[in-house]
C-alpha cells in the first residue's frame, strides 16, 4: 500500500518496488485475509432479483480451495489454461483465484462474445477447461466439434435434463454439485512472482485480438496506479464498477487490487447498463469508490441533479478506456461533487498514468502524470525522446528481459513473439497511442496512431473534438475520424448520436432552444449549429466539415470506439 503524502514529488521519492521472489495472487487477495481477519467482508453480490449475498474472506478461501481441488481432480495442472466465461458473480472471482493457487493460467472471457470470438480464443490459447453458465454452455455446444483442446466444461447452473452433446467432444460437469464433495483445504502451488498467472485478450480495435500473458507480480504492479486513481485506499472503502470482470479494467483495476487491500467489492450483472440503476446501486450499498468508464459517465450525466435524487457516499471516481475530457470532468464536479481521476494503460502494460487530485491539480484534457514506479516519455519514430509539447508515441520504459523492476508489464503475447517484438522501439515499449507531455510531466492522450487526422498541414486528434461535441446540448455521443480530401489531405468527419430529446422531424435543439422545422431544414440547421459550436469553442480548423447522425457508435465490449468501422461505413 502506498504511504499517502501531500505531494506527487514526495510520493516519487518514497516509492520503491518490493517484489518477493515467490508470490501467488490467490494467497495475497484471499488466504492472507482469511488468516488475519476471516470474518472481514469481501464481496456483496447483488443477484438478478436484487437480493444481496454477503461473502467474507474465509468464504472465498474455502470456495476457491474447493474449486482448485475440483480443477485438479479433472486434470488441470500447472500452466494449463482455464477459461472463466461468466459475468460479475462470486463464482467468477473464486474460479480465477483457484487457478492462481493451482499454478494454472486463468483466462477471463466476456459473456457477450459470439461463437466466432470464443472459437478463436479457445483455439489460440489451447483452453483445456472452462467454467460457465447455461448461456455460455449453449454457445460452446454449438461449436463443440471445433474446440479440439477443450476437455471439461463446468456449468454453475443446473444442467438441462437431456445431454446436449456427445462425450466425444467434452464432458459437462455440474459445478456446484461436484464442489460439495471437495475439501476446504488446498496446498497452494509455490509460484514465483514471474510465473504466468493470467491471459487477457486485447479488445481488438484493429486486427485479431492478441492474448497478453501476465505474471503473478502483475497484481503488485497494478497497485500504485489503483491507489493513486482513488486518492489512496482508506478504511471503510467499498468498490464497485459496471466494467465486466472479463476485462483487465474490471478484474485488475478493481476486484483483485481491492481484495489485496482487504477492501470489499460490490458485484452485480446489469442486463443493460442504466444510469438510474447505477446510481441506485451506489446509494443502496454506500459505494465509496467507483471505476466508471467514460461511456458510463456520458449516460449518467443525463440524470438531472443526481445528488438531490440519490444519497451517495462516493469518495472517489476513477475512469479510463477513452479520454474523459473537460465536459465530463466539469459535470462530475458540479453534479456529484467529485473530481474524476483519469488513468491510462493497456492490457499489455496497465495503470501507468494517473491523476490523483489528493496530491496534484487536475488538468482538464490531461490524463495525469506517470504512476510511481513508471517512466514514460513521448518519442519519435526513431525512439528519440521529444521535447515538451510535441506529438509523438506514448512510450514506457520496460525491462528486457522481464525482471522484477517493472511488474505490471506483460510477459508477451501468447504464441506470438513477432507481435511482442513489434511493441518495442529502442529502449522503449510503444503503446500505439499518440500523445504529448508538458513541462510539469502531465500526459495528454491524442489518439491511436492510426486515428490522427492530417488536415491542411495540421495534425488533429479526435478526442478533443469529441469532447467539444459533447458540450452541444443536442449531442449524446460522438466519434470523429479523418476522411480523404483532395485539397486538404483529410477533413474531419463526425458521427453523432443525438440526445433522445431531439426529434428531427419536428423539433431540433439549437443552443438550448427548441425550434420547429421541417425535417430537411432541421437536420441541416442542427449540423451547422454543431459545426459553429466546435469553431467557437475549440478551433476553426478542427470543426467537422461532415456530420452524420447515427443511432449508435461501433464500440468494443469495453466501451472503446472502433473508428476503423466508421471508416468503412
Q: Look at residue 164 in the predicted model and tell me its pLDDT.
A: 58
Grid cell at residue 5: 503524502
- Of 94-108, 331-345, 399-413, give the lowest mean pLDDT range: 399-413
**401 preceded by a cis bond (ω within 30 of 0):** yes
Closest among 93, 87, 23, 89 to 61, alpha carbons compared: 93
Helices assigned H by DSSP within 53-132: 57-73, 90-102, 115-125
Q: Look at residue 61 in the predicted model and tell me its pLDDT.
A: 98
Compute the distance between CA of residue 405 and CA of residue 15 in angstroms, rounded to an integer: 12
Band (pLDDT 50/70/90 cuts) for residue 515 is very low
Grid cell at residue 322: 477513452
Band (pLDDT 50/70/90 cuts) for residue 237 is very high
Band (pLDDT 50/70/90 cuts) for residue 410 is very high
Q: Look at residue 500 in the predicted model and tell me its pLDDT.
A: 74
User: 3-state SS of the chain: helix, strand, coil percent to 5?
Assistant: 30, 25, 45
Whats the size of the chain, residue-wise? 569
The half-sphere exposure of 560 on its side-chain side, counting CA atoms within 13 A, is 19
Compute the distance between CA of residue 76 and CA of residue 74 in angstroms, rounded to an integer: 6
Domain with CATH 3.40.50.12780 in the chain: 7-19+216-230+265-450
SS3 493: strand
Distances (CA, A) of 481 to 180, 474, 478, 555, 560: 54, 20, 10, 14, 14
Q: Is the pLDDT of residue 203 over 80?
A: no
Q: What is the mean pLDDT of residues 287-309?
A: 93
- pLDDT: which is higher, 366 or 398: 366
Supply the CATH classification number for the domain 452-567. Answer: 3.30.300.30
SS3 338: coil
> With left for phi above 0 and alpha for psi between -120 and 50, is residue 426 left, alpha or beta?
left
User: Could you give the percent of the chain with pLDDT greater than 70?
Assistant: 91
SS3 447: strand
Q: Look at residue 465 in the predicted model and tell me its pLDDT.
A: 87
Residues 6+ apart with CB under 8 A from 505: 519, 522
SS3 44: strand
Q: Tell me: the pLDDT tens digits for 63-96?
A: 999 999 999 999 999 999 999 999 999 999 999 9
Q: Is the pLDDT of residue 111 over 70?
A: yes
Q: Look at residue 455 in the predicted model and tell me its pLDDT.
A: 78
Residue with cell 478526442: 463
Domain with CATH 3.30.300.30 in the chain: 452-567
- Are 190 and 21 in contact by the 8 Å Cβ rule? The answer is no
- pLDDT: which is higher, 297 or 521: 297
Query: C-alpha 37: how far from its chain's center?
Result: 30
Q: Tell me: the pLDDT tens digits for 429-457?
A: 999 888 999 999 999 988 777 676 877 65
- pLDDT: which is higher, 68 or 554: 68
- Are 369 and 21 in contact by the 8 Å Cβ rule? The answer is no
| CA torsion angle 152 153 154 159 (round to 10) | -120
Q: Is the pLDDT of residue 292 over 70?
A: yes
Band (pLDDT 50/70/90 cuts) for residue 403 is very low
Band (pLDDT 50/70/90 cuts) for residue 555 is confident
Band (pLDDT 50/70/90 cuts) for residue 554 is confident
Q: Look at residue 299 in the predicted model and tell me its pLDDT.
A: 87
Q: What's the fold here for domain 7-19+216-230+265-450?
A: Rossmann fold (3.40.50)
Q: What is the mean pLDDT of residues 7-16?
A: 92
Beta-bridge partner residues of 108: 84
**Concatenated DSSP letters for 345-373?**
--SSB-S-EE--TTTS---TT--BEEPTT
Amino acid at each position: 500500500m502506498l504511504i499517502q503524502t501531500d505531494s506527487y514529488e514526495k510520493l516519487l521519492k518514497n516509492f520503491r518496488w518490493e517484489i518477493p521472489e515467490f508470490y501467488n495472487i490467490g494467497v495475497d487477495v484471499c488466504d492472507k485475509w482469511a488468516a488475519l481477519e476471516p470474518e472481514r467482508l469481501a464481496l456483496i453480490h447483488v443477484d438478478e432479483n436484487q437480493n444481496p449475498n454477503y461473502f467474507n474472506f474465509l468464504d472465498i478461501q474455502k470456495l476457491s480451495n474447493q474449486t482448485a481441488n475440483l480443477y485438479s481432480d479433472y486434470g488441470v495442472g500447472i500452466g494449463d489454461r482455464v477459461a472463466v466465461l461468466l459475468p460479475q458473480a462470486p463464482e467468477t472471482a473464486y474460479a480465477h483465484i483457484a487457478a492462481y493457487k493451482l499454478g494454472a493460467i486463468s483466462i477471463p472471457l466476456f459473456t457477450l462474445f459470439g461463437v466466432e470470438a470464443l472459437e478463436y480464443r479457445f483455439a489460440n490459447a489451447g483452453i483445456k477447461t472452462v467454467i460457465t453458465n447455461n448461456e455460455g454452455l449453449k454457445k460452446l455446444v454449438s461449436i463443440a466439434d471445433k474446440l479440439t483442446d477443450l476437455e471439461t466444461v463446468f456449468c454453475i447452473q443446473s444442467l438441462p435434463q437431456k445431454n446436449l452433446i456427445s462425450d466425444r467432444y467434452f464432458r459437462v460437469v455440474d459445478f456446484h454439485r461436484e464442489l460439495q464433495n471437495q475439501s476446504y483445504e488446498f496446498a497452494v502451488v509455490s509460484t514465483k512472482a514471474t510465473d504466468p498467472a493470467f491471459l487477457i485478450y486485447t479488445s481488438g480495435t484493429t486486427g485479431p485480438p492478441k492474448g497478453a500473458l501476465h505474471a503473478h507480480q502483475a497484481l503488485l504492479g497494478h497497485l500504485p496506479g489503483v491507489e493513486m486513481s482513488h486518492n489512496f485506499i482508506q478504511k471503510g472503502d467499498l468498490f464497485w464498477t459496471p466494467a465486466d470482470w472479463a476485462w483487465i479494467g474490471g478484474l485488475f483495476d478493481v476486484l483483485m487490487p481491492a481484495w489485496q487491500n482487504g477492501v470489499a467489492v460490490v458485484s452485480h450483472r446489469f442486463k443493460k447498463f442504466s444510469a438510474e440503476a447505477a446510481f441506485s446501486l451506489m446509494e443502496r450499498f454506500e459505494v465509496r469508490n467507483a471505476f466508471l468508464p467514460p461511456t458510463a459517465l456520458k449516460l449518467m450525466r443525463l440524470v438531472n441533479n443526481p445528488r438531490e435524487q440519490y444519497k451517495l457516499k462516493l469518495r472517489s471516481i476513477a475512469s479510463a478506456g477513452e479520454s474523459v475530457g473537460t465536459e465530463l470532468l466539469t459535470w462530475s464536479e458540479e453534479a456529484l461533487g467529485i473530481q474524476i481521476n483519469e488513468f491510462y494503460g493497456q492490457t499489455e502494460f496497465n495503470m501507468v498514468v494517473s491523476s490523483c487530485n489528493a496530491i496534484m491539480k487536475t488538468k482538464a484534457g490531461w490524463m495525469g502524470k506517470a504512476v510511481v514506479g513508471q517512466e514514460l516519455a513521448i518519442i519519435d519514430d526513431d525512439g528519440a525522446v521529444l521535447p515538451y509539447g510535441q506529438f509523438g508515441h506514448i512510450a514506457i520504459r520496460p525491462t528486457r528481459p522481464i525482471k522484477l523492476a517493472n511488474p505490471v508489464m506483460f510477459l508477451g503475447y501468447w504464441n506470438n513473439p513477432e507481435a511482442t517484438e513489434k511493441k518495442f522501439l529502442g529502449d522503449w515499449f510503444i503503446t500505439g497511442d499518440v500523445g504529448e507531455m508538458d513541462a510539469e510531466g502531465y500526459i495528454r492522450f491524442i489518439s491511436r496512431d492510426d486515428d490522427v487526422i492530417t488536415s491542411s498541414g495540421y495534425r488533429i486528434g479526435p478526442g478533443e473534438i469529441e469532447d467539444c461535441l459533447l458540450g452541444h446540448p443536442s449531442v449524446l455521443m460522438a466519434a470523429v475520424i479523418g476522411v480523404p480530401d483532395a485539397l486538404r489531405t483529410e477533413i474531419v468527419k463526425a458521427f453523432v448520436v443525438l440526445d433522445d430529446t431531439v426529434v428531427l422531424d419536428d423539433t431540433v435543439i439549437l443552443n438550448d432552444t427548441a425550434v420547429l422545422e421541417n425535417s430537411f431544414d432541421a437536420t441541416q440547421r442542427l449540423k451547422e449549429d454543431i459545426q459553429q459550436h466546435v469553431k467557437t469553442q475549440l478551433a476553426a480548423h478542427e470543426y467537422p466539415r461532415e456530420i452524420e447522425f447515427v443511432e449508435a457508435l461501433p464500440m468494443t465490449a469495453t466501451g472503446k470506439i472502433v473508428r476503423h468501422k466508421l471508416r468503412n461505413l
